[in-house]
């Protein structure tokens, strides 16, 4: 789903070296990044996806705004809140939200047909613990999510950007991971999965280098119960790729690196 694209940095904010994803700027703010981890393609939206997108997004969509949201007000209850970044067609997102009714999920994707598909899955399901944001997840995390507020963040099969010259477009970068860690509540988790071994090694190095996170496993984690097999994973397995899960937790006070 990926190709090269370039976007401009937000004026007045620092950008990372060599077009990296967000880095903490002086004063604790996070910069915008000049390079995005996705390419927006039109994609083919089926009539059903379009119909459900039109009818469901006013109900379960959260419009992007540069203002911090209050999940308690949005979901009408106090519950752990988990963010999913880049949900693709949303099948995993839907399955997880159904299997974990006591947790609220904010699922983020830029790809219209995927958003339409998740809307279609939710329509008529009675699911109440899921909201969708159709926007760049890095900006959503930076602008809409309060510090130390999330119970978890899911990043499943992010685009691996295979070519070396595109590695800077990978969403898992030190600045992005620092931003995720800052938004996690103490004890909250970051769960990543990939079927691309070289990206898995990259993720392990980047996550391990973030001092406020600790690995819950020695290297790779077993696939947690809550993550069902995804379309990408099944394809990866068919191609003979191993799948790696990484499960890190935000350190709590007294839990030092």
Ligand X SMILES: C[S@@+](CC[C@H](N)C(=O)[O-])C[C@H]1O[C@@H](n2cnc3c(N)ncnc32)[C@H](O)[C@@H]1O
Using the contact rule CB under 6 A, the part of the chain among 43-51, 87-95, 119-127, 182-190 near ligand X is 87-95
List the x/- string, 16-45, binding to ligand X by CB under 6 A.
---------------------xx-------
Describe the strand order of the beta sheet including 244-250 as a list of residue ranges: 130-133, 104-108, 81-85, 150-156, 184-194, 244-250, 213-215
Helix 91-99 to helix 112-122 angle, to the nearest 10 degrees? Answer: 30
Calpha distance 89→231 (Å, rounded):
9
* Residues forming the active site: 159
Residue closer to ligand X (CB basis): 30 or 251: 30
**CA-closest candidate to residue 87, choices 25, 124, 131:** 131
Using the contact rule CB under 6 A, the part of the chain among 3-11, 131-139, 218-226, 236-244 near ligand X is 131-139
Minimum distance, C-beta of residue 77 to ligand X, in the bound complex (Å): 26
Is residue 176 close enough to count as binding ligand X by CB under 6 A?
Answer: no
Q: Which phi and psi (to 5°) does residue 166 adopt?
A: -100, 0
List binders of ligand X among 197-236 (CB under 6 A). 230-232
Minimum distance, C-beta of residue 109 to ligand X, in the bound complex (Å): 5
List binders of ligand X among 42-61 (CB under 6 A). none
Is residue 171 close enough to count as binding ligand X by CB under 6 A?
Answer: yes
Residue closer to ligand X (CB basis): 135 or 214: 135
Is residue 156 close enough to count as binding ligand X by CB under 6 A?
Answer: yes
Q: Checking phi first, is residue 30 left (phi over 0); if not, alpha (psi -120 to 50) or beta? A: beta
The tokens for 11 are: 């004026």
Is residue 138 close enough to count as binding ligand X by CB under 6 A?
Answer: yes
Is residue 65 close enough to count as binding ligand X by CB under 6 A?
Answer: no
Is residue 105 close enough to count as binding ligand X by CB under 6 A?
Answer: no
Alpha helices, DSSP H, located in the chain? 47-60, 71-75, 91-99, 112-122, 137-144, 174-183, 197-208, 231-238
| Options 113, 114, 174, 188; binder of ligand X; rule CB under 6 A | 114
Residue closer to ligand X (CB basis): 158 or 188: 158
Calpha distance 216→248 (Å, rounded):
5
Is residue 108 close enough to count as binding ligand X by CB under 6 A?
Answer: yes
- Residue 56: HSE in the Cβ half-sphere, 13 Å Cα cutoff: 26
Is residue 136 close enough to count as binding ligand X by CB under 6 A?
Answer: yes
Residue closer to ligand X (CB basis): 104 or 233: 233
Calpha distance 16→9 (Å, rounded):
10
Using the contact rule CB under 6 A, the part of the chain among 27-35, 46-54, 155-163, 178-186 near ligand X is 155-163
The tokens for 60 are: 């379960």
Q: What is the contact surface with ligand X in residues (CB under 6 A)?
A: 1, 37-38, 86-88, 92, 108-111, 114, 136-138, 156-159, 171, 230-232
């Amino acid at each position: 789903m990926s190709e090269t694209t370039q976007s401009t940095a937000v004026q007045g904010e620092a950008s990372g070296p060599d077009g990296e994803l967000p880095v903490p700027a002086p004063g604790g703010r996070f910069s915008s990044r000049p390079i995005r981890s996705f390419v927006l393609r039109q994609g083919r939206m089926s009539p059903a996806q379009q119909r459900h997108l039109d009818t469901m997004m006013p109900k379960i969509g959260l419009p992007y705004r540069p203002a911090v949201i209050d999940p308690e007000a949005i979901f009408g209850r106090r519950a752990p809140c988990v963010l999913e970044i880049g949900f693709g067609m949303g099948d995993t997102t839907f399955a997880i939200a159904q299997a974990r009714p006591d947790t609220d999920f904010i699922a983020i994707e830029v790809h219209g047909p995927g958003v339409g598909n998740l809307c279609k899955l939710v329509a008529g399901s009675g699911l109440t613990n899921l909201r969708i944001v159709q926007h760049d997840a890095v900006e959503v995390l930076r602008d809409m999510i309060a510090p130390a507020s999330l119970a978890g963040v899911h990043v499943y099969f992010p685009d691996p950007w295979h070519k070396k010259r595109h590695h800077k477009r990978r969403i898992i970068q030190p600045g992005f991971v620092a931003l995720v860690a800052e938004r996690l509540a103490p004890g909250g988790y970051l769960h990543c999965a990939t079927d691309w071994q070289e990206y898995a090694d990259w993720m392990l190095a980047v996550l391990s280098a973030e001092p406020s996170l600790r690995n819950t496993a020695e290297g790779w984690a077993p696939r947690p119960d809550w993550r069902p097999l995804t379309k990408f994973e099944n394809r990866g397995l068919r191609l003979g790729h191993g799948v790696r899960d990484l499960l890190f937790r935000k350190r709590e006070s007294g839990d030092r690196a």
